[in-house]
Structure formats: structure tokens, C-alpha cells
Amino acid sequence: MSVMKVSSQPIRGQKPGTSGLRKKVQEFIGEHYLENFVQSIFNAMGECGGRVLVIGGDGRYHNREAVQVIVRMALANGFRRLLIGQGGLLSTPAASCLIRKYGADGGIILSASHNPGGPDGDFGIKFNGANGGPASEAVSAAICQASVVIDHYLITDSPDINLDSPGEHTVGDATVEIIDPVADYAELMESLFDFPKIEHLLQQGGFTLCFDAMHAVTGPYAVEILERRLGAQPGTVINGVPLEDFGGGHPDPNLVHATELVRRMRGDKPPDFGAASDGDGDRNMVLGSSLFINPCDSLAVLTANAHRVPGYRNGLAGVARSMPTSPAVDRVAAALDIPCYETPTGWKFFGNLMDADKITLCGEESFGTGSSHVREKDGLWAVLFWLNLVAELNQSADTIVREHWQRFGRDYFTRHDYEEVPAQQAEALMDELRQQLPSLPGRSSHGHTIVAADDFSYTDPVDGSVSHSQGLRLQFGNGERIVLRLSGTGTSGATLRLYANSHEPDPDMLGIDTGKALASLLAAADTIAGISRHLGRDGPDVIT
Ligand code: G6P
Ligand code: ZN
């Protein structure tokens, strides 16, 4: 095996976004594109000699080819040991689990998360550090910096590794291990949750479940854990075979894209509980038999009941949520008398808090929930947590949520996405609103009066780093709030996200339709931010 030094030059736009580098597949398969970025990761890591790397992806189009390239580059850069999920597959939370369990120096995960796949879809690559979490802002900046000065990369001429045959291969001085992508993760889940109790619920309790893997990476994980280990009926997991194009679907677990699950939940005999996960297995949507459980509420309910689950029986160090997420969990944290942190959007901000033992649970409105068991959000973990609660409390998920609202009040929450907006229009809207911020307090629209307005900045309480411009916040009276920010995960044009939430303490007002509850607040947002005026659109593309 010989190492080749291949001349290259910087390629524009290799700047990681909210969650790694995401582009159209066609851009990724361009000459040197993947190689440049991977070498930039290695250059940012510093000396790679003797180090250990985890590699895997969500199985989307180009996954296998990319794994082979990364293996050859890792060997050329001197890594000592590579751990690769069989078939090139690893869910994002499983990759995080492996990095931590085997003391790896980091991992490369190939995924564009919930974005569509296939030859015309998206591809992505993320680097996670030794704590198993997404690269911090500083590391992402170092990778980007390396990508703009790159002049060569290293790659071996070794043959392709057989990704389908488990076991150890020796290549030169290095060991390449093809490992079961599910086993370590399933073991971790068993250590956190009361499997015998969930098993009893699923087998003797007559409780029915439908898990939509959306033809993405969680299929094998869900089949192994839910059907094989917990004994759920065969067929509980639907769309369970990972496909390179996700069966033509959009692997985003929400009411718009998880169509088959939604159809079953709205059918004549709905299952007692429904759930879905995304392309790389870190997101979750959970549904009671007659209730969509908003991710913000899900985090609040899990926090309030964590002591009922074995892995969290000793209490929580604290909790955190991203800024646009509703403050439902804040009320629970106050009742439990534990700290609650408000971070910018992006899982990377939770890592420092977990490493410093400041938080145990965290979550985001974008269908992300997780804990310090790994350093990523974790879709299947959230589903198991809910099943454990249902089994423990002997109540339906719907009842658990409704009783939670009775106790804490309900935080109505919605997000409106305006997708593929010309970047200039989106920036003009944000700039105009940003300039108005100082004069907004006191202004009223549609019966709502602004009491405070700012551009969110976050100072990391652990390392003191500051992240500016993380979203425009308009705080109204009565706990109502509007947030506007531009997505950091899209691949074409800009996506404007408009978030709205309000708090309702009146026990008689907890069952209102969310759209109705927030209609006038959203109308106020449109007037104040000039959304339809700037974008020339009648309404959002997706409402969650
Ligand atoms: C990914 C990240 C999340 C983030 C979400 C939406 O899933 O891991 O942390 O909340 O994307 O990010 P965006 O910038 O598109 O709103
Ligand atoms: Zn994801």
C-alpha cells in the first residue's frame, strides 16, 4: 500500500452549517470535493498518527463510495484504528455512542439528516469530536479555515474494504474493523430503560405501536430493539429497510412527511402510540393515539417524569433547550429546582453543558430530544423513554400530556418555514427587522404588544465563547413570543423560520387548535416583520 499526495486547491463554500457540511449530491461527487473536506477535518484535528476514528452514515446515495474514500484517506493520514458500521451504516446517535465507548478521537458521519437523498438529493458530512458530539463552533471554524488554504490531500491506493463482512482487517499498520452498527447502541438503551416493563406492556398489555423508520437508518435499530428485544408485533416497524433515496420520501419526522404513519394514526383503529425518526436517526416525532406531541412538550414531559426511568432515577443535573423551543421545560425545571439553559439552535451547544455535568436532558423544537448518554440527539431513545413512561404510569401518552398541561399550563407552539427563498430577500427581511429592534418595545399589532426585542447572543457558561446573531426575538406581554431566524441546514436558497409560542394557564383553554391559538400572534409577526411583503408569498411551505 502506498500513500499518494494529490495536489488540490480550495473549493468555495466548504463552510459547515448548523450540522456539518450539506450540499447537493452532485456537488459532493465533484472532483476533490469530498477529499478536500475530509483532509480539512484531518488538518484541523492536528496530528492524526496513531488515532482512532469512527466512520458511518445514514445509507443515502453515495454513502458507500464516500466511506471507501474516507477509509483510504484516514489510512494515508496515519490513523491506527478505524471502526466502521457494517454496510457503511451508523445512525448519528450510534456513532456518538461508539466514539465514547471505544475512546475514539472522533468520528465522521455521512448524512444530510432529514433532507431527501438520491442522485438529485442532498449529501452531507459531519465531524464529531472525542466527546461524541458535533464539532464545536471553534472546530468547525478551523475546518473551514483549513479548507480555504488546502493544497493537497493524502490517500492510499489500497483496495476497497468489504463493508459487508464483519470483522477486523489489517491494512498496513492499521486495523479496520467492520462492526455491528446496532449492538453497542442497543446495549446502551437496555442500560437506561426498564426493558422488562416495556416488554410486558407490548406483549401482555395489548399496547400497540407503529414506528415509521421512513426507509432511513433507524430501520435496523428499531427492528432489533422494538421487535426482537422488546417483542413488539412483527410489522410494528414500517418502512424499515434503509434505501439510498429513502423510497423517494423526505425522511423528516413531522406530520407533513411521515405520511404513512399519519395515515395509520388517523385510521379506524389507530395504534396506541406512533413514532418516526429521520434520515440519520437523531430526530423523533411521537404521537399519542389522538394527539400530536409537540417536541417542546415532549422535552417538558420527559423532564418532569425522568425519575420514573432507571437511567435517570437519581435526578437531573439540569436541562437545556434551544432558544426557539417553547419554555415548557423551563416551568418543569423551576418546579424541580434545577438549572435550565437557553442555547442557540444546534446540538453542538449542548455538548459543553453535558461534559461539565450541568445538564442531563435537552431538546429542540426541531424534533430533537436527548440526554447525556451520548452527545447527539437520539430518536429511538426518545421513543423508548415514552414507552417506559407509559408502562410505568399505566397511562396513555395522551393522558400523560394532558395531565402535564393541567399542572403546568400549556405552551402553544408552532413553526412556519418559508423555503427556498432568494437569499437576498431573506437577508433584507432580517436586516430590516434587526434595525428596528430598539424601537419595537411598546409597539402593538393585532392586539399584541411588544415588551422586549433583541438579537439573541449566547455566552457559553463553560468556555465563555460568545455566539452572536442567533435569532431575532420579539417578546410580547403574557409570555407570548415570536422568533425569526434563517436556517443553517438548507442547501438551496434560504429558509426563513418563524416560531411562535404563548402560554395558557387556564385549565379550560388547553384543548384549542394550535393554529387558532396562535393566529393573531402570527398575524402580528407578519405585520411587524413584513414577511409577505418581503417574500411575496401568501403563507409558509411547511407548518410544524
Ligand atoms: C439539525 C441540528 C439541530 C437543529 C436543526 C435545525 O437537526 O442538529 O440542532 O435544530 O438542524 O437547524 P436549522 O438551522 O435548519 O433551523
Ligand atoms: Zn438528523
Evaluate whether 30 touches 63 at the Cβ level (below 8 Å).
Answer: no
C-alpha distances in angstroms, 453 versus 439, 458, 483? 9, 15, 10
Q: How many Å apart are CA 54 and CA 128, to the nearest integer?
A: 9
Tell me which H or E stretch contains 64. Answer: helix 63-76
Among residues 353, 382, 408, the one where a domain terminates is: 408
Residues 539 and 434 occupy one common structural domain: yes
113 is catalytic: yes
Residues 326 and 298 occupy one common structural domain: yes
Residues 383 and 414 occupy one common structural domain: no
Residues 195 and 340 occupy one common structural domain: yes
Residues 152 and 220 occupy one common structural domain: no
| Grid cell for residue 535 | 417574500
C-alpha distances in angstroms, 97 versus 89, 242, 352, 381, 517? 14, 20, 17, 12, 40
Evaluate whether 214 touches 187 at the Cβ level (below 8 Å).
Answer: no
Probe target for ligand 1 pocket from 15, 18, 418, 484, with the most ligand atoms within 8 Å of CB: 18
Residues 377 and 427 occupy one common structural domain: no
Probe target for ligand 1 pocket from 22, 250, 345, 544, with the most ligand atoms within 8 Å of CB: 345
Return the SS3 of 457: coil
How large is the ipTM? 0.95
Evaluate whether 100 touches 108 at the Cβ level (below 8 Å).
Answer: no
Q: What is the DSSP secondary-structure string of 377-419?
A: --HHHHHHHHHHHHHHHTS-HHHHHHHHHHHH-EEEEEEEEEE
Q: Tens digit of pLDDT per residue, the chain (544 long)?
A: 899 999 999 999 888 877 789 999 999 999 999 999 999 999 999 999 999 999 999 999 999 999 999 999 999 999 999 999 999 999 999 999 999 999 999 999 999 998 999 999 999 999 999 999 999 888 999 999 999 999 999 999 999 999 999 999 999 999 999 999 999 999 999 999 999 999 999 998 789 999 999 999 999 999 999 999 999 999 999 999 999 999 998 999 998 899 999 999 999 889 999 999 999 999 999 999 999 999 999 999 999 999 999 999 999 999 999 999 999 999 999 999 999 999 999 988 999 999 999 999 999 999 999 999 999 999 999 999 999 999 999 999 999 999 999 999 999 999 999 999 999 999 999 999 999 999 999 999 999 999 999 999 999 999 999 999 999 999 998 889 999 999 987 767 899 999 999 999 999 999 899 999 999 999 999 999 999 999 889 889 888 8
| Grid cell for residue 28 | 459532493
Indicate if ligand 1 lies below 6 Å from the C-beta of 87. no
| Grid cell for residue 410 | 400549556
Q: Ligand 1: which atom is nearest the Cα of residue 18?
A: 14
**Amino acid 19: pLDDT:** 76
- CATH of residue 482's domain is 3.30.310.50
Indicate if ligand 1 lies below 6 Å from the C-beta of 127. no
Q: Which residue is catalytic, options 113, 322, 371, 502?
A: 113
DSSP structural state of residue 478: G
Residues 31 and 175 occupy one common structural domain: yes
Instruction: Tell me which residue range forms the domain holding 456.
Output: 410-543
**Amino acid 450: pLDDT:** 95
Give the phi and the psi of residue 165 in degrees, each rounded to 5.
-110, 115
| Grid cell for residue 292 | 400530536
- CATH of residue 229's domain is 3.40.120.10
Q: Ligand 1: which atom is nearest the Cα of residue 322?
A: 10
Contacts of 267 (CB under 8 A, 6+ apart): none
Residues 394 and 442 occupy one common structural domain: no
Give the phi and the psi of residue 128 in degrees, each rounded to 5.
-115, 140
**Amino acid 33: pLDDT:** 96
User: Using CA of residue 391, residue 370, residue 305, residue 331, what is the dihedral sign?
Assistant: negative
Residues 199 and 119 occupy one common structural domain: no
Measured from the alpha carbon of residue 498, the closest ligand is 1
Indicate if ligand 1 lies below 6 Å from the C-beta of 195. no
Give the phi and the psi of residue 76 in degrees, each rounded to 5.
-65, -30
Residues 245 and 100 occupy one common structural domain: no
Q: How many domains does the chain have?
A: 3
Indicate if ligand 1 lies below 6 Å from the C-beta of 348. no
**Amino acid 204: pLDDT:** 82
Residues 190 and 174 occupy one common structural domain: no
Among residues 148, 181, 214, the one where a domain terminates is: 181
Count of CB atoms situated within 10 Å of the CB of 162: 11
Among residues 387, 408, 429, the one where a domain terminates is: 408
Indicate if ligand 1 lies below 6 Å from the C-beta of 487. yes
Residues 211 and 255 occupy one common structural domain: yes
Evaluate whether 498 touches 522 at the Cβ level (below 8 Å).
Answer: yes
